[in-house]
Structure 1
């Protein structure tokens, strides 16, 4: 019996091991959702917003390393997918989006809800095409999936509403060969890199997520070169725990030890990272960069030797050519400074901080309302969360506190919109993560601005009884924007949020809501959130004036902040 377009697509998803398809139903998708309904092992996850669906699918792809799938119906439904698709594209994770379209006879007629999907998705997709005949399948589907997987990007397949039920004349199944070639740099490049590194006195490593499959090789490199290891945020997951060389992150969310380790080196080795912030790179140093993508070599900082290839394979070829460095002074200085900074951060995270002398002085300036310190909240969550928890974080201050106070030990995983920098990603990514791993703890660090953007998909969490723990850093602000304004010498403007009681909202939606308004309630509130079965929204009123000092603050930032505070004080008196 001949199969329909919809059946060919869904059967292929089943063969690929896709377990969940995220989206919002619509008429053009009806044949596809009906095929999903009647297919064992592939579940439809109906979301309240297509953006949440795309974020959830992207989260599953990043965690599993396999294809994520989402769907949006005609016009606005597909447009709503865009932000989550951009996040997947920037995160370089394979995602297939099935987009509905008006009936094929109406294409190009400015029909109701018609959008040119091939044009709409041109920038975000490594492959995009509209099915105009059933017999284009399964070849077109095979191409879309192969492009998404091989190029680690987004493929968009548009299916007009009248084609989903049409039968194919050639009913062969779609085929997806599973091949992952491993490449490394050539021998000449290896020798050139070895000569440069062997001539160095002080080497620092900058390690990104692209090196996550090379942990053993990277640790061996650090030991051989007595090199401190600066981590990007996305490298926390694979390199933070049980690592005597790491000194945390650099950049605005980083620490002084990491900044000093970069500044003090004479040679920088970049491993699997495209860290974008040029101001945080040292200048006048020799640089070796290893990256899977040749286009990344030298993109952020000039490199002396660029090696395109798999990090693990390239390091295995490079290590035998490197002479051990006996002098560990550079490493030990970086580690000592990092441990001092870490000890200071632990003091800030103490729930009793504001009762000590220094804390009382500090709170008189920046926390007169005696709100919960966000550092204390993040540290308490870190202590209560399991060793295999999956963490997600919203872009902004929630990510700052996670980066500084949550340790990725055990089998913990980490997700965020760390390349696109979108708001509202933490909750839908947690949704996708919990469906991917129903028996693991999933914890979302939500900003109040981010959570309220896609608040409706709390209903999706309730509908599917997903036991996610949503921790809301409720500072009644767009906190990162506030900080950016003040560092530029501008008074805070447009960042204040008139929030509801998020715990009460959660309770009204059928979830457990817990609200913490005082530091004395914090530890009990966090424990209750983690001990309560099912989904929980933990709404914690945090200090809106909390300042996250970057690893290498500048005089200009200090003056900007001081000027902003004066302007804010004058404005409050004028009011």
Structure 2
């Protein structure tokens, strides 16, 4: 006889799930035991369930296959929530298997009891409790199919007395629905959009991850329209390298050329993006939006022409309707500005920058009197030495800024982060998930010191399960992005300072190889050494907390805010 837990685990293994992440316990003991006996599926026991959810979400984003995590009764399931919200907002299909008290005790306020169906109602597109073997395989199929269809989270709850119940003889095995086919926007929408693009004099593209897999089609449109291309952070992996039209990112992590491309155009074409920052959209432009999710069209900026369909087939159809423009002035102006900005950034990534010129020396004395490593140097070294198929993860905050600006996603490089939820502490567990998919692939977690300390215990998971992640820590003793926000608003820095231990020593005590780096001239060697190591390695780079990443558009109010904040900090420090 097959029991409920065995049916679920066998179906997931047959579907191609290779790991299940979580913490063992009570109601889910039948499931973990089924995993123990199931060939082809691995149990990875984390130290905190939040790490399990982040790891499962990263696997879903990288593989396209559903990620699976588990949390047992009450607190164990609650701990999953933050990572599951990240999966929801990243449109990553994830299945969470959650424990519940035995069915006779449900509704009695039993020890550890929480109402999972209510708890997960907001984060999950599907949340149901299995109370009888007769509900299978339908509930499992609904859960997985919904996660795929909605690009989100499904939760199945198992009471403590249900997992070991026998499945009735003759129960058919689960069959999961195939993915929906990609669709082309309707002909009338294509005609209307093409008419507007052909009439436009200067078009700028804003391209998101919805088109990251459609590189050829996007480049064809850019060539026809002679249009500069602003990329969202999540579109870097598919569209950044060898792309003569791209200008990098907009928003706080962006650069002045993207602002110029937005300001100078008369028509803005949004392709596969739900870029959320309304203040960074240009005003007074004709806006065309192509998105497979109709609900995403027009919710950030008003749209004049909508195309509801997937990027690849819609762009192929649209290209046949477009005239080829000859005027390259708009494109050349934007790309020249971008090239100049890249040259300036390259100088900042030179370890000897502050010693080469009198201006550099003056800058160093003002904002880096102790000669700490500039984070740009670290990110640039990673770009030079990382494999062309490396996976990068980044914590929310300044580490994302440095990777965005200094690491080019050429080859088959990929990037994962909490770019929609904006959680702390995501880079390390997401890297664990990425590494478990392929232990031979290079995975580099770019961690803030605040983020790493939040889920520090799961560094040991990399050792336990032989996951050779390289953990790079930008150790500036600060919650860096919050510091920047405070100072931009004219506030003195407060509550952001972190009295970190020696993080390399902590990592060594957890069983990782590690190195603490305090001198810029040692960065290159340290990066090469870590990436060559065949096990988990932590690099603790002591970086300058006063390195400022200016956004592409700054105002007098911003400058005044920094000046006021710095004067307050100086007076208070005296």
TM range (shorter): over 0.9
1:176-203 CA-to-partner distances (Å, cap 9, x unmatched) read 1324222121111111111111110000
Aligned to 2:54: 55
1:376 aligns with 2:377: yes
Give 1:47-446 correspondences, 5 Å limit: 47-169=46-168, 170-357=170-357, 358-446=359-447
Give 1:16-55 correspondences, 5 Å limit: 16-55=15-54
1:460 aligns with 2:458: no
Aligned to 2:501: 500
Cα separation, 2, equivalents of 1:510 and 1:319? 55
Is this contact kept in 2: 1:462–1:535, CA < 8 A? yes
Is this contact kept in 2: 1:203–1:267, CA < 8 A? yes
Q: By how many angstroms is 1:521 displaced?
A: 2.1
Aligned to 1:482: 483
Is this contact kept in 1: 2:478–2:498, CA < 8 A? yes
Cα separation, 1, equivalents of 2:439 and 2:56? 15
Number of equivalences = 572
Cα separation, 1, equivalents of 2:63 and 2:533? 27
Q: Any idea what SS the aligned residue of 1:440 has?
A: coil
Q: Any idea what SS the aligned residue of 2:564 has?
A: helix
Q: Any idea what SS the aligned residue of 2:516 has?
A: strand
Aligned to 1:532: 533
Cα separation, 1, equivalents of 2:25 and 2:375? 42
Is this contact kept in 1: 2:399–2:448, CA < 8 A? yes
Is this contact kept in 2: 1:513–1:539, CA < 8 A? yes
Is this contact kept in 2: 1:24–1:50, CA < 8 A? yes
Q: CA RMSD in A?
A: 0.8
Aligned to 1:567: 568
Is this contact kept in 1: 2:148–2:179, CA < 8 A? no
Q: By how many angstroms is 1:533 displaced?
A: 2.4
Cα separation, 1, equivalents of 2:352 and 2:36? 54
Is this contact kept in 2: 1:3–1:171, CA < 8 A? no
Q: Any idea what SS the aligned residue of 1:494 has?
A: coil
Q: Which runs of 5+ in 2 are unaligned?
A: none
Cα separation, 1, equivalents of 2:119 and 2:397? 28
Q: By how many angstroms is 1:309 displaced?
A: 0.7
Q: By how many angstroms is 1:513 displaced?
A: 1.0
Cα separation, 1, equivalents of 2:430 and 2:215? 25
Q: Any idea what SS the aligned residue of 1:87 has?
A: helix
Q: By how many angstroms is 1:380 displaced?
A: 0.7
Taking structure 1 as the reference length, the TM-score comes to 0.99
Is this contact kept in 2: 1:394–1:447, CA < 8 A? yes
Is this contact kept in 2: 1:4–1:165, CA < 8 A? yes
Q: By how many angstroms is 1:213 displaced?
A: 2.2
Q: By how many angstroms is 1:89 displaced?
A: 0.3
Q: Any idea what SS the aligned residue of 1:275 has?
A: coil
Is this contact kept in 2: 1:382–1:405, CA < 8 A? yes
Q: Any idea what SS the aligned residue of 2:553 has?
A: coil
Q: Any idea what SS the aligned residue of 1:421 has?
A: coil
Cα separation, 2, equivalents of 1:459 and 1:46? 11
Cα separation, 1, equivalents of 2:528 and 2:324? 47
Q: Any idea what SS the aligned residue of 2:248 has?
A: strand
Structure 1 outlier segments of 4+, above 3 Å? none
Cα separation, 2, equivalents of 1:457 and 1:420? 21
Q: By how many angstroms is 1:437 displaced?
A: 1.6
Cα separation, 1, equivalents of 2:439 and 2:296? 36
Cα separation, 2, equivalents of 1:372 and 1:74? 46
Cα separation, 2, equivalents of 1:259 and 1:247? 10
Cα separation, 2, equivalents of 1:171 and 1:278? 52
1:218-273 CA-to-partner distances (Å, cap 9, x unmatched) read 00000000000000000100100010100110100000011111111000000000
Is this contact kept in 2: 1:56–1:428, CA < 8 A? yes
Indicate the larger mover: 75-84 or 378-387: 378-387
